[in-house]
């Protein structure tokens, strides 16, 4: 079979029904939402067996990330080739029309609470849109104990123990594994470890209209995974990197990923030589230049730059805001 060299790769979103979702992702993505149902998540880059992302542009159209890792690992991952059994990050857009369940994710070291083939889950959000009831719950209130939290669970008053703030568009929030969290009436971009392990502590006593029943809780597992030292989590403070042809800021820095933001009107550089990077369009449109070809890119889209592609100039049409995701090293 002919080997096809890798190039800047785009992927179609995979929409997910969620009880707490809405229809606001129609304002962000060009692919039509499924009719009627509340859509809470669009998985825009996923190496999951049940929902694999497939290339939507060029000669590799229809190939999954898993297939590319198997056939072209060195071209795709560069020095990271062979380090991961699957692509290490999962990227999403979330429309949290209603507040999500109060939940917690295990850390990578809490192996007794991680199913085989999974990982712990640290995640981060970048706020894209807020409603009148927007709220981020991140961490417990200082002084909360396990016994006190159990009492609030019995009384259906868990919210009294949750630290929270009103988010603003453009803010970022890092949710390390073990942090109790939820959010509502916001649209966010989410980057996380490639894991689907979530333990629900509380779900606001609501009923799923599809089933007519409350959703399952995993209270014992959630309590076991909570890090009670993670309290009063607020929005991150952007770290200024440069203001050359574009404003470049570091929004999130963690061992599992970094998130940078480019804001520019004139051409600027994205990516890094011999290093895989991911671009996510937040606002505007433009084109990425690679080997004298131009790759259109706009708000709501994701583009994976394989290591062999390296650094590329991006040419905005007007103002363009792009998030650049750095993989764990």
Fold topology of 239-326: Jelly Rolls (2.60.120)
Q: What is the pLDDT of residue 272?
A: 97
Q: What is the pLDDT of residue 146?
A: 97
The mean per-residue pLDDT over the stretch 70-95 comes to: 96
Mean pLDDT, the chain, integer:
96
Catalytic choice (24, 135, 200, 261): 200
The mean per-residue pLDDT over the stretch 256-285 comes to: 97
| pLDDT tens sequence across 171-201 | 999 999 999 999 999 999 999 999 999 999 9
Assess whether the region 9-225 and the region 239-326 belong to the same CATH fold: yes
Is the predicted pLDDT of residue 163 greater than 70, yes or no?
yes
pTM of the predicted structure, to 2 decimals: 0.96
pLDDT confidence bin for 1, thresholds 50/70/90: low
Angle at 312 between CA 282 and CA 63, to 5 degrees: 75
Q: What is the pLDDT of residue 88?
A: 97
The mean per-residue pLDDT over the stretch 288-301 comes to: 97
Is the predicted pLDDT of residue 297 greater than 60, yes or no?
yes
Is the predicted pLDDT of residue 244 greater than 90, yes or no?
no
Is 200 a residue of the active site? yes
Pairing of strands 302-305, 268-270: unpaired
**Higher-confidence position of 1 and 322:** 322
| pLDDT tens sequence across 89-137 | 999 999 999 999 999 999 999 999 999 989 999 999 999 999 999 999 9
Q: What is the pLDDT of residue 245?
A: 87
What is the C-alpha to C-alpha distance for residues 79 and 56, in angstroms, rounded to an integer? 26
CATH dotted code for 9-225: 2.60.120.10
Closest CA to 173 of 153, 190, 154, 149: 190
Closest CA to 288 of 264, 265, 305: 305
Is the predicted pLDDT of residue 2 greater than 90, yes or no?
no
**Domain range summary for the chain, segments of one domain joined by +:** 9-225, 239-326
The mean per-residue pLDDT over the stretch 36-55 comes to: 96
The mean per-residue pLDDT over the stretch 48-77 comes to: 96
What is the C-alpha to C-alpha distance for residues 65 and 221, in angstroms, rounded to an integer? 31
Extended beta strands in 110-165, E state: 123-140, 162-165
* Residues whose CB is less than 8 angstroms from the CB of residue 70 and which lie 6 or more positions away in sequence, other chains included: none
Is the predicted pLDDT of residue 3 greater than 90, yes or no?
no
Closest CA to 270 of 315, 240, 319, 311: 311
């Amino acid at each position: 079979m002919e080997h096809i060299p890798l190039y800047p790769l785009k992927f179609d979103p995979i929409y997910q029904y969620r009880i707490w979702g809405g229809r606001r992702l129609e304002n962000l993505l060009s692919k039509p939402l499924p009719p009627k149902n509340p859509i809470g998540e669009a998985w825009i880059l996923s190496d999951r067996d049940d929902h694999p992302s497939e290339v939507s542009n060029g000669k590799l159209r229809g190939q999954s990330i898993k297939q590319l890792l198997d056939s072209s690992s060195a071209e795709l991952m560069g020095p990271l080739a062979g380090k991961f059994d699957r692509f290490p990050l999962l990227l999403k857009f979330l429309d949290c029309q209603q507040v999500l369940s109060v939940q917690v994710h295990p850390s990578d070291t809490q192996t007794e609470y991680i199913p085989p083939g999974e990982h712990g889950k640290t995640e981060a959000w970048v706020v894209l849109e807020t409603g009148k009831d927007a709220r981020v719950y991140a961490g417990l209130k200082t002084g909360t104990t396990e016994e006190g939290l159990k009492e609030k669970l019995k009384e259906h008053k868990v919210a009294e123990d949750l630290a929270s703030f009103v988010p603003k568009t453009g803010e970022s929030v890092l949710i390390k594994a073990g942090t109790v969290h939820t959010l509502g009436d916001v649209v966010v971009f989410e980057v996380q470890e490639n894991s689907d392990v979530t333990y629900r502590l509380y779900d606001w006593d609501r009923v799923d209209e599809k089933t007519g029943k409350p959703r399952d809780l995993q209270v014992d597992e959630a309590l076991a995974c909570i890090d009670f030292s993670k309290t009063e989590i607020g929005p991150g403070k952007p770290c200024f990197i440069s203001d050359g042809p574009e404003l470049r800021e570091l929004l999130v820095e963690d061992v599992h990923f970094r998130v940078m933001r480019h804001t520019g009107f004139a051409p600027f550089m994205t990516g890094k030589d011999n290093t895989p990077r991911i671009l996510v369009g937040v606002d505007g449109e433009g084109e990425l230049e690679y080997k004298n070809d131009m790759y259109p890119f706009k708000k709501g889209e994701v583009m994976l730059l394989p290591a062999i592609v390296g650094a590329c100039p991006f040419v905005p049409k007007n103002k363009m805001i792009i998030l650049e995701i750095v993989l764990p090293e």
